[in-house]
Structure 1
């Protein structure tokens, strides 16, 4: 179809930069990289100071100091029953947790009674309720291996989150919630048109997207599914995504906390699709941790173009179906590996291409995004 060809054409431009040329950029982005010399540290300080003086000043001309960029990290998060483990903090909910989403400010938890709650690791605050979705509005059915189930969506960075609520069966409302201010930024009925089906796919700073079909179009070999409905968060206008805004917002190279994937072989041109990586299936073996999918498969870190394959933790057993569940920072992902009736939470680092066993949790534990 012409529209799909246009979408795929956007991927033609996603050719990764030369890896060696990105070493410096990678070091700036990698939060675990130490300053290598006193000279380079001094030079960097002088450069920052100069930039501050030239860029910013008060009304009287006095330079306004600025601090270093905010380091955004997410704590390792999971839930057992009613207990939410958010880094070193434990919070107990009123019922069993069935879904988790982590933002820069805390964690959203959907309970088995449909209540949606938010915590920053201290108190829990109810911020929504699912209501009564009909079968047509349940989680995405089993499909490609990188489609997370659930009702709540959030990006890998930022404070934005969104979900559908059903005050009446079959009549969804879109709720967009700012976890920093703890306020709704938008609540509006969803225009289903003739589809009669909607599954929320993503929320960005400007838009929210949803699927209106069980079999949406895709980029790559089912690497990225393309939602076909969109709402502009500023204007509230909603309808088909005929302008391909989703691809324009998401298919961007040099984006931290993404994975670029290509299936080119032989002399074929290398074309990459960009995914946030959440719910991507991985193979965890005794020696290697690598993404699964249609072969050949070349996976790269979106921020640095480094290969997205890793060395297994020492003594790690081979496991079955494993999933990427969380980005802790630009350099670190968490992969949940099922081994011998328990889940191993493995932290893998782009900068070192090595993984460590972070934690062993019960198999029934609920993980961010993937349940």
Structure 2
């Protein structure tokens, strides 16, 4: 269920879901949010959500943090609209022989040491967590996984100093580069778990060094609030209760609208003139796109300036805006989550798409 935010601290739409009895906070297993502003605004938004859940569930903020992974994606650009998507697991009876319906699995790795960020150890831990989340959701085949959303640790100066105090070295002296490798290792862990990359291909040199190794279903973001990798597996299971369906698509390049539309039609949404039919739009529960435009310097041989113009420092935001516009145009809805992560997340220059829709 997706609701808008009017400001980083605005959790009123979530509170209304609770007050109106549409969602029981005890059934929320994870959430992912698109927040405006910098890391401080992202952290403020997470704090406000944690306080709301703590009040409703009678828990401390720390207990909420441990219980409900909050994957906060900071930064909006273009027509991106801040919003929150709740993953709600309502107890229900399975329907033997029933059609495949949405299933969610949520796990975390153990806390990683800073010197483990972006290493084969990191990859192995994430692979184990993804498999555990699949098992929790009842997803037996990787083919039934539509999307894996991950929030992994970000390298900071304090964490690098902590490693150094124990005589350990981080994977890169630059915190930004080490954080990029943390995202890459998370993506590769997903790829190994889903059989997209063989485990024996994972070496330290491969992480951030082999763009030919990637997942087509994993999206990783880093944050300094995380010590472990939080994992949300989204897929479908035969006979699962409910009517929702998750589907995926791959945009081979930024203007591959056919690849994007495939995710909408696979989720059971009808298209008219290339966009979701008006009567089907209320059935769209959530849409995610992982943007890769800033991982290459061109589109089909046509040069772009994301990496060289005055906004090069914000190339991730520009890439998100491009990918978001494509998906929002098809959905005719701006509550679409965009994440910029090229590190082993799709072939270079591609976009990964996930659509969740309610049954007719």
User: Which has the larger strand fraction?
Assistant: 1
Give TM-score scaled by structure 1 length: 0.28
Give TM-score scaled by structure 2 length: 0.28
- Higher relative contact order, structure no. (Cα contacts within 8 Å, ≥ 6 residues apart): 2
User: Which has the larger helix fraction?
Assistant: 2
Please say which structure displays the higher CA radius of gyration.
Answer: 1
